């Protein structure tokens, strides 16, 4: 079934057409390596807004990875930017990253580290400072290049005085350099607008793909004009692995194509990808500096056309119609973590952490008014029932 919002896809596909002819790819990018980095010629680097940092076009997203040889391979491929979180695996991921960097003899000045924590209203300056100190300790470093407030989902999530007060104090102490927000929910456009208007957020990290987020490129361009940097992630538009595998017949790489597409926007500094194997590093390094081919454009177009009703954009448009207040976008996202990314344990933990009324527990017996509210014509009801079974393992329990 075709999406009911053809304007969005038309604009994106027009971009794909431009990218295929080489009009977008590489514009405004700097091919030079930062001083001191032992990078092969093929990696490229872009300034991160006004932060004074230069990032590799590919960022090593370390979610769930504890693998020094993999980090070594990424470094050798010229990747200098690493993205983690104090909250992934309760901080163990930062420990793994710090340990690996130490073991590999990485010079701190040659890498850019992005990390952070979820900072919400009601917290205190001392708690935020403690979170920053915790990340420094676990990473075994004296400073963090980009400190991030995670899971921003509404402009209100940015109205936290304690965050700015703590960040200023930490910056004066030399512990942090730039402040970022990170988010992947459907309410990102207002969040990005609020950050631009406020002026204290220096880097935007968010979900960006070729079928979602109408109008975000125009927002990004205004952000760039104000010197706000952008690092994007989740470029795979839902990570529907089975369908992607079918599309890749003939030696294409879906992920490489989506990274190329994202890098075609000169207002984006880097694309963060969760790296789990060596082939990915080879594939994605090849995405840097090379335009989308005609075959890759055809693949992305086909995915957009065929996956229009199967891919949840996490836009939350359907949630107001749910009498029970189910967190549809979150449930769908956790289901994607489980079946698309293979992060089963984390997905189930996140689902367990939702208040019971926000889970899809009640969906099975519901007439599903949410389905008519989805602008993309998605089978919301069936997917929520399946997601609940998967994330709570009710099938396994019988
Ligand atoms: S199926 Fe019913 S309970 Fe579940 S999200 Fe839709 S409206 Fe809400
Ligand atoms: S099911 Fe549809 S309306 Fe609901 S969050 Fe997903 S894409 Fe948006």
CA of 349 to the centre of ligand 1 (A): 21
Cβ proximity of 221 and 192 under 8 Å = no
Nearest CA to 303 among 128, 295, 102, 155? 295
CA of 341 to the centre of ligand 1 (A): 25
pLDDT band, very low/low/confident/very high, at 82 (cuts 50, 70, 90):
very high
Closest ligand by atom to 364 CA:
1
Distance between CA 308 and CA 254 in Å, rounded? 16
75 in contact with ligand 1, CB cutoff 6 A:
no
| pLDDT at 91 (0 to 100) | 72
Residue spans of beta strands (DSSP E) within 43-143: 45-47, 54-56, 58-61, 81-83, 112-117
Q: Mean pLDDT over all residues of the chain?
A: 83
For domain 45-305, the CATH superfamily is NADP-dependent oxidoreductase domain (3.20.20.100)
State the maximum Cα–Cα separation within the chain, in Å, rounded to a whole number: 61
CA of 243 to the centre of ligand 1 (A): 27
Distance between CA 350 and CA 151 in Å, rounded? 13
381 in contact with ligand 1, CB cutoff 6 A:
yes
Q: Which ligand 2 atom is at minimum distance from the Cα of 316?
A: 5
The model's pLDDT over 226-273, given as tens digits with 9 standing for 90+, comes to 999 999 998 887 766 667 777 787 788 889 999 999 999 999 999 999
Q: Nearest residue CA, atom 8 of ligand 1? A: 322
Mutate to test the pocket of ligand 2, among 213, 315, 327 (most ligand atoms within 8 A of CB): 315
Q: Nearest residue CA, atom 2 of ligand 2? A: 374
With a cut of 60, say whether residue 113 has pLDDT above it. yes
Distance between CA 332 and CA 397 in Å, rounded? 22
CA of 341 to the centre of ligand 2 (A): 19
Q: Nearest residue CA, atom 8 of ligand 2? A: 315
Lowest mean pLDDT among 85-99, 134-148, 311-325, 329-343: 85-99
318 in contact with ligand 1, CB cutoff 6 A:
no
Strands 45-47 and 54-56: antiparallel
Lowest mean pLDDT among 75-89, 131-145, 315-329: 75-89
First to last CA, the chain: 33
Strands 270-274 and 229-233: parallel
Host H or E run for residue 149 = strand 144-149
Mean pLDDT of 61-74: 79
Give, as one character, the DSSP assignment of residue 360: S
The model carries a pTM of 0.79
Closest ligand by atom to 318 CA:
2
| pLDDT at 241 (0 to 100) | 66
The model's pLDDT over 274-295, given as tens digits with 9 standing for 90+, comes to 888 898 898 899 889 888 999 9
Query: Structural domain boundaries of the chain?
Result: 45-305, 319-392
Mutate to test the pocket of ligand 2, among 3, 186, 238 (most ligand atoms within 8 A of CB): 186
361 in contact with ligand 1, CB cutoff 6 A:
no
370 in contact with ligand 1, CB cutoff 6 A:
yes
């Amino acid at each position: 079934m075709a999406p009911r919002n053809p304007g969005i896809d038309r604009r994106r596909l027009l971009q794909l057409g431009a990218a295929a002819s080489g009009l977008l790819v590489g514009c405004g990018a700097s091919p030079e390596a930062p001083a001191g980095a032992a990078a092969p010629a093929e990696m490229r680097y872009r300034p991160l807004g006004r932060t004074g940092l230069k990032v590799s076009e590919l960022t090593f997203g370390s979610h769930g990875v504890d693998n020094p040889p993999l980090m070594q391979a990424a470094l050798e491929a010229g990747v200098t930017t690493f993205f983690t979180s104090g909250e992934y695996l309760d901080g163990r991921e930062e420990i793994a990253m710090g340990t690996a960097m130490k073991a590999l003899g990485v010079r701190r000045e040659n890498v850019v580290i992005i990390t952070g924590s979820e900072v919400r209203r009601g917290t205190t300056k001392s708690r935020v400072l403690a979170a920053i100190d915790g990340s420094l300790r676990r990473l075994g470093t004296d400073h963090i290049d980009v400190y991030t407030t995670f899971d921003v989902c509404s402009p209100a999530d940015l109205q936290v005085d304690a965050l700015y007060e703590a960040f200023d104090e930490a910056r004066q102490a030399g512990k942090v350099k730039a402040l970022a927000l990170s988010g992947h929910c459907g309410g990102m456009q207002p969040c990005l607008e609020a950050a631009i208007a406020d002026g204290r957020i220096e880097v935007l990290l968010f979900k960006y793909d070729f079928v979602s987020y109408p109008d975000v490129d125009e927002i990004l361009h205004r952000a760039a004009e104000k010197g706000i940097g952008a690092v994007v992630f989740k470029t795979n538009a839902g990570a529907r692995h089975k369908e992607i595998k079918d599309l890749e017949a003939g030696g294409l790489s879906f992920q490489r194509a989506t990274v190329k597409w994202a890098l075609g926007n000169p207002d984006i500094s880097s694309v963060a990808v969760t790296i789990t194997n060596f082939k990915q590093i080879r594939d994605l390094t090849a995405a840097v500096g090379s335009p989308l081919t005609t075959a890759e454009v055809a693949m992305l177009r086909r995915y957009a056309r065929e996956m229009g009703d199967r891919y949840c954009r996490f836009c939350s448009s359907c949630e107001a119609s749910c009498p029970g207040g189910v967190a549809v976008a979150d449930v769908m996202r956790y289901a994607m973590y489980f079946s698309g990314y293979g992060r089963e344990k984390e997905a189930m933990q996140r689902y367990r952490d939702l208040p019971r009324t926000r889970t899809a527990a009640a969906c099975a017996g519901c007439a599903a008014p949410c389905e008519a509210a989805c602008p993309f014509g998605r089978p919301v009801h069936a997917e929520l029932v399946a997601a609940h079974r998967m994330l709570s393992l009710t099938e396994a329990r019988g």
